[in-house]
Amino acid sequence: MKKLLAAASVLAAVAVAGAAPTALASQPASHGSAARPDFSAQAARAGLSIGQEKTLQRRVDGYLAAHPGSKQTAANTVADPTGSHMVFAVPGEKYARDLNSGWSGSDPRTPAHTCPYGDFCAYSGANYTGDYRNWGRCATYEIPDGWGSGGSWYNNQTHGLQAVMRNKSHQPIYVTPPAPSGDPHGNWGPVWYVTNC
């Protein structure tokens, strides 16, 4: 069911993106418009190709369409109304990253996890790879669509805090060890929600 919901969400995002006026589709590499800031300069400074930039923007646009109230804050980052962030890995790179950091998402020297202190971070891939989502404010959050298996997490909240992973019915299925702690080989399959404190 979770995978069907995720697939429906992706199809809806593609339908919304496909319904964009042709004037926008024919624009050059710049993604600027009156509706959103232009992050092309940031993408270029970070070494992204035009293809990587366009693919990344399509993913961000799909996420924004599925999460009303969220706002793009960087070429690969979306903030939601709670202040948490979804950070997308650049296409072809292993790790999601701050594009202003100077790190490459494919460089083995890139930090294994970039979870800010005070947050619980969920990663789409094993070993803190792929896209990541961080949650700081104490609440229950839904795992991003499409994260049906694999993955990893890092609990970098205040020392000693534990997070609770919950199933579709919001029942607890796993309590993390006290912060700081992590699991480089987690499984998002049975997890639908995380209460981060």
Is the per-residue pLDDT at 192 higher than 60?
yes
Question: Residue 4: is it exposed, middle or buried by C-beta count within 10 angstroms (0-12/13-18/19+)?
Answer: exposed
Looking at per-residue confidence, does 108 or 125 come out higher? 125
Lookup: tokens for 108: 């083995």
Is the per-residue pLDDT at 122 higher than 80?
yes
pLDDT range class, residue 101, cuts 50, 70, 90: confident
Looking at per-residue confidence, does 40 or 21 come out higher? 40
Distance of alpha carbon 55 from alpha carbon 29, whole angstroms: 11
> In whole angstroms, how far apart are CA 51 and each of 6, 55, 59, 160, 172?
25, 6, 12, 43, 42
Give the H/E segment covering residue 183: strand 181-183
Q: Which pLDDT does position 59 carry in this prediction?
A: 96
Distance of alpha carbon 97 from alpha carbon 99, whole angstroms: 6
Q: Which pLDDT does position 10 carry in this prediction?
A: 38
Q: Answer for the pair 122, 104: CB distance below 8 angstroms, yes or no.
A: no
Is the per-residue pLDDT at 20 higher than 90?
no
Looking at per-residue confidence, does 164 or 83 come out higher? 164
Q: Which pLDDT does position 105 carry in this prediction?
A: 65
In whole numbers, what is the pLDDT of the chain averaged over residues? 82
Q: Which pLDDT does position 114 carry in this prediction?
A: 78
**DSSP state letter for 117:** T
Average pLDDT over residues 80-97: 92
Question: Residue 118: is it exposed, middle or buried by C-beta count within 10 angstroms (0-12/13-18/19+)?
Answer: middle
Is the per-residue pLDDT at 61 higher than 90?
yes
Q: Any idea which of 4-18, 87-101, 131-145 has the lowest mean pLDDT?
A: 4-18
Is the per-residue pLDDT at 29 higher than 60?
no
Number of domains into which the chain is organized:
1
Compute the chain's Rg from CA coordinates.
17
pLDDT range class, residue 12, cuts 50, 70, 90: very low
Domain span including residue 140: 2-195
Coil vs helix vs strand at 194: strand
Looking at per-residue confidence, does 18 or 132 come out higher? 132
170-174 contacts, C-beta under 8 A, 24 or more apart? 170/140
